[in-house]
Amino acid sequence: MDTIRYELIPAQGEGQVALVTFDEPGSPVNTMCARWQGDLVALTAQVLADRDRLGAQLKGIVLASAKKTFFAGADLKALMRLTPADAPQVFTEIERMKKQMRTLETLGIPVVSCINGTALGGGWEVALMGHHRIAVDEAKTQLGLPEVTLGLLPGASGITKTVRLLGLMGAQPWLLEGKLFNPQQGKALGLVHALVATREELLPAALAWIAAHPESRQPWDEKGYKIPGGTPANPKIAAALAVAPAMLRKTTRGRYPAPEAALAAMVEGASVDFDTALRIESRYLAGLMTSPVAHNMVSAFFFDLNAIKSGQSRPKLAERFKPTRVGVLGAGMMGAGIAWAQASRDIATPLLDVSVEKAEHGKAYSARLADKRVEKGRMSAEAREALLACIAPTAEARDLAGCELIIEAVFENRELKARITREAEPQLAPRGFFASNTSTLPITGLAQASRAPEKFIGIHFFSPVDKMRLVEIIRGRQTSDETVARAYDYVLALGKLPIVVNDARGFYTSRTFGTYVMEGASMLAEGIPAPVIENAAMQAGMPVGPLAVLDETALSLSVHVMEQTRADLAAEGKTWQATPGELLVERMVKEFKRPGRAGGGGFYDYPKGEKKHLWSELKPLFEKPDTRWSVPELQDRLLYRQAIETARCLSEGVLTSVHDANIGSIFGIGFPAWTGGAMQFIYGTGVDAFAARAEELAQRHGAGFAIDAKVREAITQHQPVY
């Protein structure tokens, strides 16, 4: 066996115990790779042979790991190579693996899982082979079945066993949402049976349990076993399950097959015997493993996220920057949010505004967020006080002295940003650097006000900062590698996701997001009903409709950006050509006095104490009964427009990697997760099929959908290979 070590060790008292140690060579973690699956067959045969040879002297089996973690789960690179035609073979392989697991747990002798670290997905299913599960009591250890977050389901017995351990209702958060738990929480749930303080205590504890339980089997193999809470035939369970699919569809909008398949496997499996239930989940898993949505989500939420977290876009500098004191200029919504993010990570944060009162108002934002957490039991009163003590409101630039980084988060005005840059930079520590939180203004231009443009960078947070995980790092023309690396480390220190882009108007996220909202506005200008536009977007998987987003970000801000763009291009001797959507937004602000939510209303009205609703005048002003439209066409326009703009950013060098594009689009602008991100949407569709559909859209809806040779080359050149 290559990935599994097998040895017989003395049991407590007389006899021997089979010690099974998972140790995949050349890998930091154990996975269910093809080699491991083959070794599992050999392991089962070896245990059966030793059982025949030793008889009652084989006292039990211990499952352990030689890695820092217990087991990582499936081989996802192999999964990415599967096609729908592979589904029957995949089903056969899943069943073969589960046959070995089932054999080991039904020998009548105790099986103990020694969980020394994280066990997720297939790794937790391996642990569930144990009749008794012992874990090292480490709060950072993650356990559970997060498969649905990757477009899959736990089909190596995870569905069937979790339902039989927790019941149909109790299992739902762990199977349908992919919630994780630590060892303490696992013990409270009854999924972990015992805790030890150190890894060294695992084996002695396992041997002691085996000695005390010479005969052992799984709960569902005991005579008289019943599923906690009852089966789907129970009237109370049946009543709850009657609405479950509708509730799930409300969340998934029909775009995410995994939660729906998991629910079906749970309910169907609870209606039959254990072994039949295992086959049911295998069938559902085989279908998902070979599906485009699973490949898209694995691409984004495993490979791309790991690329971000491992620093693949970070310049290769050995020294890591750990921020301890970072100043924030501007205590408005963004500055206050940045202060919260820093204080949450114990970073000293001087918060500067034009008056102490305004700075205190910014700190009060953190106090409100902390108070809510204290009320919900998610934060102690002491932790609240410690967090708030990190924020020091001030109106004096000298209070920024010694900051390793200063971030300005003031209004989008070049002159204002230049002035505060010159005022604050002298307070930086010797190796300190300066950042702008601008969302649209080119960093190279803003850096002209800096005394050290190589130490000037864009760090673009998203609103609300306390909820949005993405941060866009913008490299100016003179920004040094060291500054980019330090900015990257700073963002990671906040627990957020950094992407790195090169300087250009709108950078990546604002530029691409603008195509989404303006495509929606263009549809309205064409005479398409506003409710149709909003609902089409939501059904495609966007979190909010384009007109609602324009209201939230302020139509007046969009007009300000347009005017700034027009002026900048005029200064360069160029002319700016407004799109139909941009012209409509301009009319909304200037002609109809509808600046957005903050100004009292835009595309929506916001009656006090009531739910918002679309402005009643949209229908007579813009709707045209003879305009022809279809929901699939509208959805394609909204998604294709963003994906094509993303590909253009890649071809122009604004983006330099697919993982930055995918993670930036999902976490920054809400591109639907089922697509795997804007670039994976292209690859998942198929490059040729995508290009053909884009050409159709370009002919009907304009040059925004055109893909030229340079863009097509960039798409092909950056396509990942697994």
pLDDT averaged over every residue in the chain: 96
CB 152 within 8 A of CB 288: yes
From CA 465, how far away is CA 420, in angstroms rounded?
A: 22
User: In which element (H, E) is residue 502 found?
Assistant: strand 497-502
CB 547 within 8 A of CB 524: yes
CB 327 within 8 A of CB 407: yes
CB 662 within 8 A of CB 679: yes
SS3 label, residue 487: helix
Bridge pairing between strands 470-475 and 403-408: unpaired
Among positive and negative, which fits the CA dihedral 489, 493, 498, 504?
negative
Find the mean pLDDT for residues 605-625. Answer: 95
SS3 label, residue 144: strand
pLDDT digits (tens, 9 = 90+) for 421-449: 999 999 999 999 999 999 888 999 999 99
Look at residue 318 in the predicted model and tell me its pLDDT: 77
CB 420 within 8 A of CB 427: no
Tokens, residue 13: 């008292």
- For the cut 80, the answer to whether the pLDDT of residue 171 exceeds it is yes
Look at residue 230 in the predicted model and tell me its pLDDT: 94
Q: Within its chain, how far is the Cα of 461 from the centroid?
A: 16
pLDDT digits (tens, 9 = 90+) for 237-293: 999 888 888 988 988 999 999 999 999 999 999 999 999 999 999 999 999 999 999
- For the cut 90, the answer to whether the pLDDT of residue 83 exceeds it is yes
- pLDDT band, very low/low/confident/very high, at 50 (cuts 50, 70, 90): very high
CB 155 within 8 A of CB 96: no
Look at residue 709 in the predicted model and tell me its pLDDT: 97
The model carries a pTM of: 0.92
Tokens, residue 319: 């020294």
Among 489, 491, 541, smallest CA distance to 516 is for 541
- For the cut 80, the answer to whether the pLDDT of residue 505 exceeds it is yes
pLDDT digits (tens, 9 = 90+) for 189-244: 999 999 999 999 999 999 999 999 999 999 999 999 999 999 999 999 999 888 88
From CA 658, how far away is CA 646, in angstroms rounded?
A: 10
Look at residue 161 in the predicted model and tell me its pLDDT: 98
From CA 26, how far away is CA 46, in angstroms rounded?
A: 24
CB 500 within 8 A of CB 458: no
From CA 229, how far away is CA 515, in angstroms rounded?
A: 50
From CA 18, how far away is CA 29, in angstroms rounded?
A: 22
Torsion of CA 523, 529, 530, 535, to 10 degrees: -90
pLDDT digits (tens, 9 = 90+) for 552-573: 988 998 898 888 788 888 888 8
CB 598 within 8 A of CB 552: no
Look at residue 31 in the predicted model and tell me its pLDDT: 94
Look at residue 122 in the predicted model and tell me its pLDDT: 95
- pLDDT band, very low/low/confident/very high, at 539 (cuts 50, 70, 90): very high
User: In which element (H, E) is residue 31 found?
Assistant: strand 31-32
CB 501 within 8 A of CB 473: yes
Find the mean pLDDT for residues 476-500. Answer: 97
Among positive and negative, which fits the CA dihedral 547, 550, 551, 556?
negative
Tokens, residue 422: 């010159």
Give phi and psi for 50, each to the nearest 5.
Answer: -70, -30
Look at residue 74 in the predicted model and tell me its pLDDT: 87
From CA 620, how far away is CA 187, in angstroms rounded?
A: 61
Look at residue 439 in the predicted model and tell me its pLDDT: 85
Tokens, residue 310: 């491992």
From CA 703, how far away is CA 239, in angstroms rounded?
A: 53
Among 427, 423, 481, 473, smallest CA distance to 455 is for 481
pLDDT digits (tens, 9 = 90+) for 285-329: 999 999 999 999 999 999 999 999 999 999 998 799 999 999 999
Look at residue 443 in the predicted model and tell me its pLDDT: 96
